[in-house]
Each structure stands twice: as structure tokens, then as C-alpha cells.
Amino acid sequence: MKRVSIYNSYVKDNPKKRETIEQELRKHGFQTTKKGEFVIIIGGDGTFLSGVKKKIEKDPVFVVMNAGNLGFYSEFHVDDIEKVIEVIKNKDYYIEEHPMYEVHFHGKNGVHVEYFINEVVITEAEDLAIHMVLEVDGQVLFRVPADNMIISGMGGSTGYNVNAGGPISFCPNVYNVAITNPIMNKAFPFRVYPAVIPNDSELKVYPSTLKQRSYKVVCDSREIKDIEYKYITIKKHEKPIKILRTNGYSRINHIHERLLNFSSSKN
């Protein structure tokens, strides 16, 4: 008997959708439990991000059912429970693995750890450009004054990253780094380019000695507050996120339909 957990947002009629899904699962012989080998996510991408961070330690397979807007992570609609049941019963799927990342905040009181899936944003805290340094495995890559530095995974590449001029990623094994509003002047005459970095590297970000202005760190749209730190390091979490995909799934088609399909736009 397959054990299935359900994690949902409470907007719209999602709690009622959850009841319907639970009934269908039980009717087809599934057990609904808090410790399922499959976790059905009902909501948008924000619900997915929240659900993963709460359930990842149990190492389940996530089934993402979109009840939000675009739903970049979801393959199924919230009303597709019969299709989901058929796919699981027939084992007509494969597992897509996404990395999750750790952000270590290093300060005088030790190390505090947070997590992100989409992106971490290092940004100004006083409406002034911050002079950031990015090291990759102990070697300096960037030293630049700018408003923001965005470091995203593949899933987060379609968000803040692409709006900042970074690439849409189809590779799960890289960091995508983009800089917004870099300053170019006599002291910093060089253009700063987006970068793609293998995610088995360890990244380190800190303010340069030129102007050590305060900065803040935002992980998946949540600002990390009330922590004293001098610098942060970023590395891949030991457990990947497992997402159920049907054998006909294509990330290229998925991104095209949700982000790049302008054929139906009116002139």
C-alpha cells in the first residue's frame, strides 16, 4: 500500500480540494499519512518551496499539483488526481532531482544555517550600493559595487534571476549568478557579466574592505533577520529534492508554455 502525505496552502478552496484528493486516494487503496513516501503539494510555487523545506528530511517524492498562477514546478493541475493515481499505480514516471542549498551565516556567535531552493539575494540594507566580493572555492570571481547579487538554482532561474539579466537554466547542477545595477566608474571600470558555476563549488560572499556597508540576505523571498554575521557561504544540501515526472514531461515545453509562449498575445 502506497503511503501519501498532502501539503496544501489555505487560499481559495484548496482545503476542499485536499478533502477530495484524500477521498480519491483512499478509494484507490492509498494510505494518507503524515509520513508518506509521496507528498502531494497543492498550491503554487510558494507552497511547493515551503512544503519541501518541511518534508525534505523524510526523503519523499514530491507530486506538485498547481492551484496557483504559473506553477513552474508543477506538472499537474489540482484537478488531475485521477491521472496522478494512475501514474503512481502503473509506475509510469521517473524521478527528477533538484538540489536544495544551504546558506551558512558566519558570525561571532558561530554559524547559523538557512536553506533556499529558488535563489538567495544579497542586497543593500541602507539604500546604498554595497561592495560585494564573490569567491568560488576560495578564489575571487567578482568584486563589484551593486544593488543586488542573485544566486539561483535551476528552478529559480525563471524568477528574479532572469529579470536581472541572468539565463533561464535547464541544468540542475549549476549556480546562476546575476548582478543588478552594477556601478561602473574610475574605480570600477569593468563590466560585470552573469556567471554559471558548478554547484559542487562552495561560494563565499562578503563586503569588500573598500566600503563595508551593511547588507541583508533574502532566501526564497524571506529576509533573514536577527542574526549577526560577517559573511555567508553557500553549498549544496546533501539531499536532493525528488519530483515525480511523467515520461512525457519536458522542461523545455513546460517553460515555453508558462513563460515564453507569446503566440497567443494580441498585437
Nearest to 106 by CA among 236, 229, 234: 229
Q: Is residue 266 part of a domain?
A: no
Which run of H or E residues covers position 106? strand 101-107
Instruction: Give, in degrees to the nearest 5, the angle at Cα 106 between 103 and 111.
Output: 80
Classify the C-alpha dihedral 234-235-238-240 as positive or negative. Answer: positive
Res. 72: pLDDT tops 70: yes
CATH number assigned to the domain comprising residue 16? 3.40.50.10330
CA atoms of 81 and 104, how far apart (whole Å): 39
One domain for residues 206 and 244: no
One domain for residues 111 and 187: yes
One domain for residues 61 and 113: no
The predicted-structure confidence for 186-224, as pLDDT tens digits, reads as follows: 666 677 889 999 999 999 999 887 677 888 999 999 999
One domain for residues 138 and 180: yes
Query: How many CA atoms lie less than 13 Å away from 255 in the CB half-sphere?
Result: 14
Res. 267: pLDDT tops 60: no
Q: Is residue 36 part of a domain?
A: yes
Give 130's contacts (C-beta < 8 A, 6+ positions apart): 122, 123, 124, 145, 146, 147, 207, 211, 213, 214, 215
3-state helix vs strand vs coil in the chain, percent to 5: 20, 40, 40
**Mean local confidence (pLDDT), 9-24:** 91
Higher pLDDT, 187 or 228: 228
Question: Residue 154 is part of which domain span?
Answer: 101-236
Q: What is the DSSP letter of 240?
A: P
Query: How many CA atoms lie less than 13 Å away from 50 in the CB half-sphere?
Result: 14
CA atoms of 234 and 152, how far apart (whole Å): 11
For every residue of 140-203, DSSP letters joined together read: EEEEEEESEEEEE-TGGGGTHHHHTTPPPP--TTEEEEEEES---SSS--S----EEEETTSPE
pLDDT at 248: 93
Nearest to 166 by CA among 183, 150, 145: 150
CA atoms of 70 and 122, how far apart (whole Å): 25
Name the β-bridge partners of 150: 121, 178
pLDDT at 188: 66
pTM greater than the 0.85 cutoff: yes
One domain for residues 119 and 208: yes
One domain for residues 122 and 158: yes
Higher pLDDT, 230 or 128: 230
pLDDT at 153: 96
One domain for residues 139 and 37: no
Q: Is residue 177 part of a domain?
A: yes
One domain for residues 94 and 105: no
Q: CB–CB of 89/116 below 8 Å?
A: no
Res. 264: pLDDT tops 70: no
Domain count, the chain: 2
The predicted-structure confidence for 102-145, as pLDDT tens digits, reads as follows: 999 999 999 999 999 999 999 988 888 888 899 999 999 988 88
pLDDT band at 246 (very low <50, low <70, confident <90, very high): very high
CATH number assigned to the domain comprising residue 218? 2.60.200.30
Q: Which amino acid is at 197?
A: I
One domain for residues 152 and 196: yes
Q: CB–CB of 253/261 below 8 Å?
A: no
Res. 92: pLDDT tops 70: yes
Q: In what order do the strands lie in the sheet with 148-152?
A: 195-198, 174-180, 148-152, 119-124, 215-219, 222-223
One domain for residues 57 and 138: no
Res. 59: pLDDT tops 90: yes
